[in-house]
Structure 1
Amino acid sequence: MTTHLDRRTVISTLVLASLIGCSRSAKAATIDGRTFQGDGTGEGLRAQSDLTIRNSRFLNLGNGGIRVNVATDGLVVEQIEARNLYRFLENTASDRSKPASLTNFKLRGITGDDIRRAMTRIRYRSRDGLIEDVIARAGENTERYCTGFVLDDEARAIIYRRCEAHGFAERGRSSSDYWNGDGFSDERGNTAIQYLNCIATGSTDGGFDLKSTDVRLTNCVAKDNKRNFRFWGDGEVENCRSEDPRSRGGSGRPSHFSFHGSSTRYVIDRPIVRSSSGNDAPVFLFDNDTPANIEIRNADIDAPGAPLFRVENSEPNITWVPAREDQNIKTAE
């Protein structure tokens, strides 16, 4: 069955959801094998607790192929094709006095193409979520501040596993502006976020632009972003790989790892850095208001055309384990 949507018939989706039992009292309700299609605007459907959505398509929709507009627990979304959406999953409350937190949720096996703003935006006090095997590819007509995966407010204890974000690049800004556009972002107030085996490429700002505390990245890859890994909070980065950062325009120097803010504290364990001989983006760029505290362990760095460090503000406190001369580091200076 195909459900066709436009701005005049969004209400039909809400009625459809209620008719198939998408309510708190109807446990384990399922939407299976449906297509939700619009004219580039409007929502697909609104999530409710204990709902599973699987084997479905979301095409040509606006801000929310799926929208979480009330507190929602136990949502499962799996095996989905999405194409030409402003956002696939949007988390915005209908009543501002009642946060629409998303808890104990799973998003897995989802592919999004031609995404204009974000694949997912999750906020409020959302928690205990798994986002697994989700691929987001930006389209040619991205919006400003486009980002593959977004966390905001006080979201916590969320795991990204084998997720990918490609091509989230701003266009049309002045060359004097800072160009945004990230693969993955989280904000101050987010805690205990994990990125496991994730990939970010082709962003005009950060591949991973992370302001959260107690963050952990393991086996992640960032390539061809202006700043492959951009860190503001604290956490641990284990066996992550950075390749050939590149600026596509705007202000700000490209780098492999950049550090910002006033309370930055990270362990960088077994970083792998690879750059061509003509790439002079610094491996570690420090633009902190107060000294960053960084421990670098067992680095494997081959960036023959680049400096190891560039300090644009406060001098960092760096600990080497083992000593710097005993790590595998090849840079221009």
Structure 2
Amino acid sequence: MTFTRRDLLAASAASAAGLIAGGMPRAAANVAYVAPGGSGNGTSWEDAASIDNLPGLIESVGAGGLVAILAEGQYEVADTIDLSNASQVTISGCTRNMAASFARIVGSRRNWNGGKANARDFGGNTLFRIGSGASGLTLANLNVKNVGRVADMSGSRARGMVFQNIAFTNIRDGIYTDDSSAVSGLTIRGFSGRGFSKKAIRFHGRSSNWLVENCELDSGQQYGDNFAVGIECHDTANGLQVAGGFTANCLDIRPQDKYWNGDGVASERGNYNIVVQNHRSYGHSDGGYDLKSEATRLINCVSESNKRNYRIWGGSSRTPVQLQGCRSLKPTDRGGNGAAHHMWLSGAEGGDNRAAHVVWQNGFLAGGSTDIAIYAEGDNVDVHLVNTDTSGLPRSMNLFASSADSSRLRQG
């Protein structure tokens, strides 16, 4: 399916139709109430229910209903809450007078002090399980700390969901899909926080047409979980738009003779129709943008202080990977083998005729201590710089080098 701006705007308008300013729903036909220590049946704040009773409350409010989670104190949740029956239901943190406010939920993951840390054994529970029956779910205004996964959509085929204004601290995975997922039309808006050791957002399986908007994803240099990525595309997932926000500080510490991974935004060979716009990616031990996908565009993005600011494998079909108005600033080597570059490109090897093809328009490259700004590893790489400013590069830095004579740089 082709993923156009018109599609995205229509989907965004539809998902916002049930929301008012501040992320709270319009008046729902039915409301259930949840509060810390609640032991009632959820018919009012005075008779509020426990958060463990969410599945039953979802059933009681029905389609168009609201489950209001009181933003006072905190909810300690060590097990998984199943939201798979939450079709056309809104679950939102709020005050007693129903204004939007973050409800705080704490899980079982080992506590983190905020510094660089080996998080391999931090563990943690899955907070929400979201199956195919959750189509139309809106999940909003939550502050989640110390969980293994925020929302597990393994194998889910849910459609038309909105996850909005969800803050996190110290998680393994955030929004999770696997190779059997086919989640479509998901809007993730304002999913932001610090501290993740695996993937903040996984766009996997046959999932399609997601909008990731203004999400600020800082791994906080949690390492040892093989390995952190801010936004990861995999399998044949297609139709992703990332608009605004940033990914930061994904770190992979290994022996110095090994390659250190850790990317801001990454895609694989089977992914396509990927657009990233007005986004920043910085502080990673590998790629700011590590892209193997086809039909891929970066627009007005900034990649800064990563080992390889742009790490491009795709564009081997008829359409090159396109960078429009993108900036590359001071690539930084944090360890492991391999050199730092503003852009690294993969060429064809052996019987594999796939090689990176990139058009970089109105770009800007500046800073860094590496010897080579743009490096092509392998045959048949084609990178074309159009109105791209390289005047900020150190005089000692070569603009382009390749391991094969068939790879080339064009300017004009």
TM normalised by structure 1 equals 0.86
Q: 2:381 aligns with which of 270, 283, 292?
A: 292
Aligned partners of 1:205 and 1:226 also within 8 Å:
yes
Q: Distance in 2 between matches of 1:272 and 1:89?
A: 33
In structure 1, what is the equivalent of residue 76 of structure 2? none
User: Structure 1: which 5+ runs fail to align?
Assistant: 5-11, 94-98, 322-333
In structure 1, what is the equivalent of residue 138 of structure 2? 52
Please list the CA deviations of residues 18-74 of structure 1 after superposition, one character each: whole Å capped at 9, or x if unmatched.
5314556x6420110143321111111122211000111211001x21111221111
State whether structure 2 residue 410 is matched by structure 1 residue 319. Answer: yes
In structure 1, what is the equivalent of residue 151 of structure 2? 66
Tell me the SS of whatever aligns to 1:44.
strand
- Structure 1 stretch 66-75 or stretch 242-251: which is displaced more? 66-75
Aligned partners of 1:13 and 1:44 also within 8 Å:
no
- Structure 1 stretch 35-44 or stretch 308-317: which is displaced more? 308-317
Q: Tell me the amino acid that sits aligned with residue 74 of structure 1.
A: G
Question: 1:13–1:119: structure 2 CA closer, same or farther, 3 Å change rule?
Answer: farther
Tell me the SS of whatever aligns to 1:58.
strand
Aligned partners of 2:347 and 2:380 also within 8 Å:
no
Cα distance, 1:15 vs structure 2: 5.8
Aligned partners of 2:229 and 2:250 also within 8 Å:
yes
> Following superposition of structure 1 onto structure 2, how do residues 223-302 of structure 1 map, counting pairs within 5 Å?
223-234=304-315, 235-262=321-348, 263-275=355-367, 279-288=369-378, 290-301=379-390, 302=392
Aligned partners of 2:331 and 2:370 also within 8 Å:
no
Cα distance, 1:313 vs structure 2: 3.8
Q: Distance in 2 between matches of 1:14 and 1:156?
A: 35
Q: Distance in 2 between matches of 1:52 and 1:146?
A: 27
Please list the CA deviations of residues 92-113 of structure 1 after superposition, one character each: whole Å capped at 9, or x if unmatched.
37xxxxx221101100112121
Question: 1:316–1:18: structure 2 CA closer, same or farther, 3 Å change rule?
Answer: farther
In structure 1, what is the equivalent of residue 91 of structure 2? 31
Aligned partners of 1:37 and 1:44 also within 8 Å:
no
State whether structure 2 residue 259 is matched by structure 1 residue 199. Answer: no
Cα distance, 1:16 vs structure 2: 2.2
Please list the CA deviations of residues 146-192 of structure 1 after superposition, one character each: whole Å capped at 9, or x if unmatched.
11110100011110011311100112x11100010111101110001
In structure 1, what is the equivalent of residue 119 of structure 2? none
TM normalised by structure 2 equals 0.70
In structure 1, what is the equivalent of residue 6 of structure 2? none
In terms of Rg, which structure is larger? 2
State whether structure 2 residue 196 is matched by structure 1 residue 118. Answer: no
Tell me the SS of whatever aligns to 1:237.
strand
In structure 2, what is the equivalent of residue 8 of structure 1? none
Q: Distance in 2 between matches of 1:247 and 1:166?
A: 15
Q: Distance in 2 between matches of 1:49 and 1:238?
A: 35
Q: Tell me the amino acid that sits aligned with residue 386 of structure 2.
A: R
Q: Tell me the amino acid that sits aligned with residue 65 of structure 1.
A: V
Cα distance, 1:296 vs structure 2: 1.4
Cα distance, 1:115 vs structure 2: 1.1
Please list the CA deviations of residues 312-331 of structure 1 after superposition, one character each: whole Å capped at 9, or x if unmatched.
3454133322xxxxxxxxxx
Q: Tell me the amino acid that sits aligned with residue 136 of structure 1.
A: L
Q: Give the % identical residues.
A: 27
Aligned partners of 2:304 and 2:330 also within 8 Å:
yes
Structure number with the higher strand fraction is 1
Aligned partners of 2:201 and 2:231 also within 8 Å:
yes
Aligned partners of 1:204 and 1:248 also within 8 Å:
yes
Aligned partners of 1:17 and 1:46 also within 8 Å:
no
Q: Distance in 2 between matches of 1:314 and 1:17?
A: 62
Q: Tell me the amino acid that sits aligned with residue 46 of structure 1.
A: R
Q: Distance in 2 between matches of 1:116 and 1:139?
A: 9
Tell me the SS of whatever aligns to 1:19.
helix
Tell me the SS of whatever aligns to 1:20.
helix
Question: 1:147–1:141: structure 2 CA closer, same or farther, 3 Å change rule?
Answer: same
In structure 1, what is the equivalent of residue 74 of structure 2? none
Question: 1:32–1:230: structure 2 CA closer, same or farther, 3 Å change rule?
Answer: same
Aligned partners of 2:339 and 2:370 also within 8 Å:
no
In structure 1, what is the equivalent of residue 400 of structure 2? 309
In structure 1, what is the equivalent of residue 54 of structure 2? 16
Q: Tell me the amino acid that sits aligned with residue 312 of structure 1.
A: S
Q: 2:234 aligns with which of 137, 144, 152?
A: 152
Aligned partners of 1:287 and 1:314 also within 8 Å:
no
Q: 2:298 aligns with which of 217, 238, 246?
A: 217
Q: Tell me the amino acid that sits aligned with residue 397 of structure 2.
A: A
